[in-house]
Structure 1
Amino acid sequence: MGKAYSKFDITAGLCAVLLGLSIGFGYYIKLWQLDANGLSTGIQKLPYWDFTNLWAGGLLASKGGVGTIFDVDAYRAFLRSMFTPQLADQEWSYPPSVLLVGTPLAQLPIAVAYVVWTVGSIVALHFALRPLSLPLLAHAACLLSPSGFTNLLIGQNGALTAALLIGGLSLVYTRPIVAGILFGVLTMKPHLGLLIPICLIASGSYRAFLSAAVTASLLFLATGLAFGFDVWTLFIGKTAPLMSSILEAPYPQTYQAHAITVFLACRWLGFSVAGGYAGQAVALVLCAAVAIWLWRPQNPIEHGKRACITATLAIVASPYGYSYDTIPMCVTAAFLFVTEPRLSRLAMAVFWLFPLFIHRINYHEIGITVLAPILLVTYALAAGQRRAIGLEPLPKAS
């Protein structure tokens, strides 16, 4: 790992971390200012807004009411009966296999379950990052990143999915079976795993590929046996079209404030839905091409860097991504900060902070936020290529 830190490097890193923590804690304190209905006064929603889906879905499934999850009106009525009639519209959006996690959590009071879920996700991310061998402060910066705070705020699953994605990519060569299991579990949020089969095939990691396929199949069977196989039919027939309609809604929508995708950027530019999908398809093809190049056996790139860059590319490849999905980008910025002295550490600090400002940029109807992960990957790879072809000298150790 690079050791040549200047005083400016250290100052930039510390300032970024302190700024991120102060803004994140500020958001968190504001979020938990509640009104008489238990809703956050700032957003008029439950403070653990997105976690409510996981918990309530698990509760319904444990009581034999799994069908209610896929009936939008009945599901919203159930949520309002559980919490408050003033609860904003909410819908189930996950593959049914997520119920295998939600059902045990639903046996706890929601506040306790929220703490268990949040802490457990951070612990999972901690173990997933260990193969990267980051210094303690950089490791902590990944766990307490701005996008991590977004997960903490609303009880989202970004820390867990980042753990599965980064952990699996890091272990492909050393523990392929475990890597495949992590990838198989990631099918609970499948759009973040679009590049995984490409990477495994390009690298010849067929044991990991088979392990992932077996794990995904077992999750499918376990879900069907636990809740009835019709949950998969209901998901395909009702939830999938509903989520597509939300994705394809006219730009701008309030919920798009946290979006970070090529699809959204195309809609901001005035493209139709078909044009947005075309733009996203081009992005996916380009990401796949980079992934194939990264994961060829003859590519000498350091494996930690390969894993981080691929995890960041996963954000760009997906048409459905939000600020809470950007933990891999923060991890990549932190990893490059400590391992790549030829890159501007001030730039890495800015990339690490960027998730704090996604919603502010989008609120002004400027849909360019997906440029951040694109620029981060481009910058890292371009610098690496300059070194490889001898256009840039090795940095002198200080």
Structure 2
Amino acid sequence: MDAPSSSRLCLPSPIIWVVGSLIVLMLYIMDVRSLQHGIIGLSEMWGRDFANVWTGGKLALSGQLDLLYDVARYRGAEHALYGTVGVHNYSYPPLALFLDIPFALLPYGAALTVWLVGTGLLFVLAARPWWPEGRVPWLLLLTPAAMMNIWAGHYGFLIGALFLAGWHWLPDRPRRAGICFGLMALKPHVAVLVPVILLLRGDWRTVATAALTVGLLVLASALAFGPELWAQYLTVTAGVQARMIDPGTEFYGLMATSLASALLRQQVPAAIAYGLQGVAIAGVAIGVTVATVRRAPPATLALLAATGTFVILPYAFNYDLTIVMLATLVAYGRPDASLMEKAVALTAFLTPEWGMVASAIGVPLTPIALISLFAVELRRQVRSGRDAPAGAGVARSA
């Protein structure tokens, strides 16, 4: 890591952490009250979206992969495995089955525990270079986005760990960084800015290694599970996920982070919603290009790209904001941070959960907060032209 750490930086006060997680704590309480034999309200498995990981592995082990991307038949398979469950669909590329199968060998409860503990540990280890020396950043597992990820049983910790590890290893171990970035093909849209920045920097060994990693995973999955799965994923599943950009009145729409989803939920005309999303995409693309051309170090680019990714993605949700939480804490904890910078960072820190409340009453708080955080971080980088103390990390509570 190219940036020094500092024990002088501090976190928001404990009351902010408590307030930040009130919404998910309410969701936990509601789930527990309706929990029966591992099923929440007769509609969802405990661990929610982790059910897709376990189901995918079970279908692979039983030779029923023809059900994987057929939404109706997939839900029928889940009903057979769990009883009555929610309206899931398998949205991951076939290469994710290599990850799913080991978890499907365990009982569901044990698999969920290993998933959350294992991926949480990886995320903590990957975040250490951004944290003060001598302190283990376990508090990153208690940020609002992390708590949502635990509630949803999702990939936020694993993808976050691969992202941070890749940027950490980029200067000295470019091939290892490329492997990490390549493995992000599990959720490829979250890595959308990575190849752009790597190409602008001329990190050819990392680009080549990442491309080779993805290529080998695609080839291996096609050989192991059949090439027709890739055809179904790229046609049927891509269409299902694209339609989710417009959430209507569905609950998951409250969890969306994109400007387009927020505006469509408020019945803004699609042309305007997607037009403004396009403006956000262009702004981030220009900003990331400027920061990269001005030779911002990987520690800076990692956090800038993390926030920028969720500004430009029209399809993304709050449980994936685990890396953005690190960016907010770094921005808030700088000794020289202005009141405006602290306010923006604190607002973005709270939005994974309170953004849901704001969305419910018609305020697109989450995308506004993310755009503001990106702008503040870009302004600081352009103004300073260096990485001090952008990757320095954060420390004890004030």
Scaled to the shorter chain, the TM-score interval is: 0.7 to 0.9
1:380 Cα offset (Å)? 2.6
Pair 1:224–1:95, CA change in 2 (3 A): same
The answer to whether the 8 Å contact 1:58/1:99 transfers is yes
Q: Are the structure 2 counterparts of residues 268 and 65 from structure 1 closer, same or farther at C-alpha, using a change threshold of 3 Å?
A: closer
1:238–1:260: structure 2 CA closer, same or farther, 3 Å change rule? Answer: same
Contact 2:262–2:364 under 8 Å retained in 1:
yes
Q: Deviations over 1:72-106 (max 9, x none)?
A: 22111111121123x22221111111111111111
Q: Equivalent of 2:274, from 267, 277, 280? A: 277
Aligned counterpart in structure 1 of residue 113 of structure 2, from 88, 112, 115: 115
Normalising by structure 2, report the TM-score: 0.87
| Residue of structure 2 in register with 1:84 after alignment | 83
Partner of 2:33: 33
Other-structure match for 1:338: 333
* Partner-residue secondary structure (3-state), 2:137: helix
Q: Post-superposition shift, 1:126?
A: 1.5
CA contact (8 A) 1:262 1:316 kept: yes
Is the CA contact 2:256–2:262 (under 8 Å) kept in the aligned structure 1?
no
Match of 1:100 in 2: 98
Give the CA deviation at 1:370: 0.7
> Deviation at 1:269?
5.8
1:14 is displaced (CA, Å) by 3.1
CA contact (8 A) 2:344 2:372 kept: no
Q: What's the counterpart of residue 70 of structure 2? A: 71
Query: How far 1:25 sits from its partner (Å)?
Result: 4.8
By how many angstroms is 1:44 displaced?
4.5
Shift in Å, 1:161? 1.2
Look up the match of 2:206.
208
Superposition RMSD on alpha carbons, in Å?
A: 2.6
Worse-superposed segment, 17-26 or 228-237 = 17-26
Q: Residue in 2 aligned with 1:53? A: 52
Structure 1 distance, partners of 2:43, 2:183, is 33
Letter in 2 for 1:122: G
- Separation in structure 2 between the aligned mates of residue 192 and residue 243 of structure 1, nearest angstrom: 14
**Aligned equivalents of 2:253 and 2:361: distance in 1?**
11
Match of 2:260 among 255, 263, 272: 263
Answering whether residue 181 of structure 2 is matched by residue 186 of structure 1, we say no
d(CA) in 1 for partners of 2:298, 2:35: 49
**For residue 216 of structure 2, what is the aligned residue in structure 1?**
218
Cross-structure match for 1:396: none
Distance in structure 2 (CA, Å) of the matches to 1:26 and 1:136: 34
1:40 and 1:101 map into 2 onto residues whose CA distance is: 25
Q: CA deviation digits over 1:37-65, x for unaligned, max 9?
A: 64324x94222110001110110011110
Q: Report what 2:151 is aligned to.
A: 153
Question: 2: CA distance between counterparts of 1:192 and 1:70?
Answer: 21
3-state secondary structure, aligned to 1:370: helix
Distance 2:257 2:274 in 1: 14
**1:352, CA displacement in angstroms?**
2.0
The structure 2 residue matched to 1:320, chosen from 302, 315, 318, is 315
Q: Using the alignment, how far apart are the partners of 2:334 and 2:6 within structure 1?
A: 4
Deviations 1:97-119, CA, capped at 9 Å, x for gaps: 11111111111111111111111
Q: What TM-score comes out, normalization by structure 1 length?
A: 0.87
CA distance in 2, matches of 1:135, 1:147: 24
Opposite residue 72 of structure 1, the aligned amino acid is V
Distance in 2 of aligned mates of 1:385 and 1:179: 26
Distance 1:106 1:255 in 2: 26
Letter paired with 1:342: A
Paired position in structure 2 for 1:197: 195
**Equivalent position amino acid for 1:290 in 2:** G
Are the aligned partners of 2:355 and 2:365 in contact in 1 as well (CA < 8 Å)? no
Say if 1:173 and 1:205, in contact at 8 Å, map to a contact too: no
Larger RCO: Structure 1 or Structure 2 (Cα < 8 Å, ≥ 6 residues apart)? 2
Task: Specify every segment of 5 or more residues in structure 2 that has no aligned partner in the other structure, as ranges.
Answer: 387-398
The amino acid of 1:60's aligned partner reads L
Over 3 Å counting, the alpha-carbon distance change for 1:137 and 1:334 in structure 2 is farther
Instruction: Decide whether the 8 Å contact of 1:37 with 1:84 is kept in 2.
Output: no
Deviations 1:120-160 (A, max 9, x none): 11111122212324356682332321101111112111111
Give a deviation string over 1:363-382, Cα, whole Å, max 9, x none: 22333421111111212333
Q: Which amino acid aligns with 1:283?
A: A
Instruction: Tell me, in whole angstroms, the C-alpha distance in 2 between the residues paired with 1:257 and 1:269.
Output: 11
Kindly indicate whether the alpha-carbon contact (under 8 Å) linking 2:152 and 2:319 is maintained by their aligned counterparts in 1: no
Q: Deviations over 1:293-352 (max 9, x none)?
A: 2222x43x4542321111111111211111101112111011223345223446534432
- Residue 255 of structure 1: CA displacement? 1.8
User: Partner letter of residue 320 of structure 1?
Assistant: Y
Per-residue deviation, 1:195: 0.9
Any idea what SS the aligned residue of 2:210 has?
helix
Mapped contact 1:151–1:158 kept (Cα < 8 A): yes
Q: What is the total number of aligned residue pairs between the two structures?
A: 380
Aligned equivalents of 1:388, 1:242: Cα separation in 2: 42
Aligned to 1:290: 287
Question: Equivalent residue for 1:306?
Answer: 301
**Cα 1:273–1:188, aligned 2, differ >3 Å: closer, same or farther?**
farther
The question of 1:254 aligning with 2:254 is answered: no
Paired with 1:248 and 1:365, the residues of 2 have a C-alpha distance of: 15
1:164 lines up with 2:159 in the alignment: no
Identity of aligned residues (%): 26
Deviates more, 1:353-362 or 1:210-219: 353-362
**Equivalent position of 1:15 in the other structure:** 15
